[in-house]
Amino acid sequence: MKNKYWNEEEIEILGKMWGRSSISNIAKKLDRTENSVKVKGQRLFGSKSEYVGLYTGADLARAIGVDNKMINYYLKKGLKYRKSGRLNLIKIEDFWKFAKEHKALIKFYKIEKNIIPNEPQWVKEIRNNQNKYNKPNKYKKWTNYQDILLINMVRKGLSTKEIAKELQRTEYAVKSRRKILNLKYILDLENEKVTI
């Protein structure tokens, strides 16, 4: 069994058995090593669990851009799963059902389009809205123009929350920038012009 090339018939058999039979059974059927079957199957079809419509907690975390702790939080909040050894296996349709019921918990703009199969239409709409309005400008430098906008908004009496939404920044970033610009002092000088 040294470096045998895969023919079309073997690949077809592998495709039919992948996700339904154990790797050792597939290896026996094809007269190949278990490692050879595992590597070829993963290259062609992805992980066995994904192939049959199941994601492990770690696979789902990677797909939606969160860590494993967040997946565990989703499980506690009601995301259906089944145990397989040490793994939590999650059906794709169960994830989408959970996501629809708990839209506030999930940052859809972090989920790459169609990375999880059977993506519903409502996800695309929410992703577009979150991209436009909810995605903050994380770790980006403030421009002079944004500083001027911030100063003008503070003068108009807008709340920190309103300013954050308008500038697509976090509330913390707005508060920090107000301190840096010493806007409390500027507010005391109501009638004077501000120059930067």
The DSSP code sequence of 125-159 is HHHHHIIIII---TT-PPPHHHHHHHHHHHHHT--
pLDDT value at 140 more than 90: no
Average model confidence (pLDDT) across the chain: 81
Helix (H, G, I), strand (E, B) or coil at 21: coil
pLDDT value at 41 more than 90: no
**Mean pLDDT, residues 108-121:** 81
Rounded to 10 degrees, what is the CA torsion of 135, 141, 144, 149? 30
**Mean pLDDT, residues 101-129:** 83
* pLDDT tier at 135, thresholds 50, 70, 90: low
* pLDDT tier at 73, thresholds 50, 70, 90: very high
Query: Can you tell me the distance from the alpha carbon of 68 to that of 55, in angstroms, rounded to the nearest whole number?
Result: 13
At 191 the pLDDT is 43
Look at 173 and 190; give whichever has higher pLDDT. Answer: 173
Residue pair 186/196 in contact (Cβ under 8 Å)? The answer is: no
**Mean pLDDT, residues 139-162:** 87
Query: Can you tell me the distance from the alpha carbon of 26 to that of 20, in angstroms, rounded to the nearest whole number?
Result: 10
The pTM of the full predicted model, rounded to 2 decimals, is: 0.49
